[in-house]
Amino acid sequence: MPLEDGTRPVVPRAFHFGDESSREDAAHLGMWIFIATEVLLFAVLFTAYALYRLTYPDLFQRAPAHMDVFLGTLNTFVLVTSSIVVALAVDSVRKGRDFAGAALLALAVLLGIAFLSIKAAEYAKHVRDGALPGAWYAYEAFAVPGANLYFTLYWVMTGVHAVHVLVGVSVLVTLMLRTLTGEFGARFHTPVALGGMYWHLVDVIWLFLWPLLYLT
Amino acid sequence: MRGGARHGGVQVLVVGGVLLGLAALSFGLSRLHLGAWAVPVALGIALVKAALIAGFYMHLTERPGGPRLVVGTAGVFVVILVGLVLAEASARIWPTLPPGPFPVTRLPGKDVEGPPRVAPPWRQPP
């Protein structure tokens, strides 16, 4: 609601905090609370995985033989590399090298799209095999009790993660464009740092999904 | 920024090199077939990678106080959730998930035959 003199009661970017350092601290704390909620979302999925792995230990140990370990491992290196690139982008913007920061964000976007493309190729192979979730499971080469549970968990866990990658790519594109317009730089770069943190969260989650679903 | 120095590009690259090395180590160890140790070792390496990313790339080393409290609390909650579920599941007397040794139609409590049950403590004879 506007005040009598026509100004807004709360000014943009929360200037009531006093200085940029305080605003940055508050923004980071808020981002960590958001990240904690995301961690708890994935914790539920990992708990389901742990419960079913306890129930079908042999099956879960044999399941990676039916996964494309090469593509899964390739995706790990793609995502870790993208995290390095985003960290470099944040460092560049903080130091006032806006154009270099934007270029690095663009590279991270390309790596994110590469991750999703590789994941799509994997999904296509599973669909061809009939390794679908739930009642649609029809994979003859791995037709043992509980196998459909493994692939249901695989689809749900990697699917929810892929949605996060998609959101992360959109965030990085937005940050890149806003950096190019000169909105972010050495004096104000909090959104770049927070967007980078979201991308790193996506990377961290995959670093747990990859060994559990592809390696062990 | 309070309570710590900001990380430069060199530090970002060094941490990145370690992350890529640890990912290669995870893959290499998975080829050795470590048996029962495979999952703990893989998750241990993943935890180290997560700590490096949170500390250096997500600026946690620069920010004492609130953010570290949030991360620690979330970690404790995850351990409680996974730990209690696994403790309960591993303490079950007989499997309650299909295709366990019982017919799915005979739900626990509904069958008159089946595995013997232990009376609850308040019904134990003196």
Res B88: pLDDT: 85
pLDDT digits (tens, 9 = 90+) for A160-173: 999 999 999 999 99
- Measured between CB atoms, which of A24, A25, A39 is closest to B74? A39
DSSP state of B119: P
Asked, for residue A28, whether it belongs to a domain, the answer is yes
Res B89: pLDDT: 83
Whether B63 and A28 lie within 8 Å, measured CB to CB: yes
A84 has pLDDT over 60: yes
Asked, for residue A29, whether it belongs to a domain, the answer is yes
> Which of A127, A195, A167, A146 is CA-nearest to residue A41?
A167
Chain B contact set for A88 (CB, 8 A): 9, 12-13
**Interatomic CA distance for residues B77 and B90, integer angstroms:** 20
Q: How confident is the prediction for chain A on average, in pLDDT?
A: 90
Res A25: pLDDT: 87
Q: Minimal Cα distance from A41: which residue of B?
A: B78
Asked, for residue A10, whether it belongs to a domain, the answer is no
pLDDT digits (tens, 9 = 90+) for A42-76: 999 999 999 989 888 888 999 999 999 999 999 99
Residue A30's domain is classified under what CATH number?
1.20.120.80
Measured torsion, CA atoms of residues B116, B122, B125, B126, in degrees rounded to the nearest 10: 150
User: For chain A, how many structural domains are there in total?
Assistant: 1
pLDDT average, residue stretch B26-39: 90
A24: CB partners within 8 A, 6+ apart:
A190, A193, B1
Chain B contact set for A76 (CB, 8 A): 23
Whether B30 and A215 lie within 8 Å, measured CB to CB: yes
Res A3: pLDDT: 53
Q: What's the gap in Å between the CA of A174 and the closest CA on chain B?
A: 19
Asked, for residue A2, whether it belongs to a domain, the answer is no
Res B63: pLDDT: 86
**Interatomic CA distance for residues A90 and A97, integer angstroms:** 10
> Which residue out of B1, B14, B57 would a mutagenesis test of the A interface target, given it has the greatest number of A Cβ atoms within 10 Å?
B57
Residue A190 in tokens: 């909090």
pLDDT digits (tens, 9 = 90+) for A33-48: 999 999 999 999 999 9
Q: What's the gap in Å between the CA of B55 and the closest CA on chain A?
A: 11
**Domain residues for A192?**
17-215
Q: What's the gap in Å between the CA of B105 and the closest CA on chain A?
A: 17
| Lookup result for tokens 């995850």 | B78
Question: What is the H or E stretch that residue A81 is in?
Answer: helix A69-94
**Interatomic CA distance for residues A32 and B63, integer angstroms:** 11
B99: CB partners within 8 A, 6+ apart:
A145, A146
Enter the pTM of the model.
0.84
Asked, for residue A8, whether it belongs to a domain, the answer is no
B19: CB partners within 8 A, 6+ apart:
A80, A83, A84, B49, B52, B53
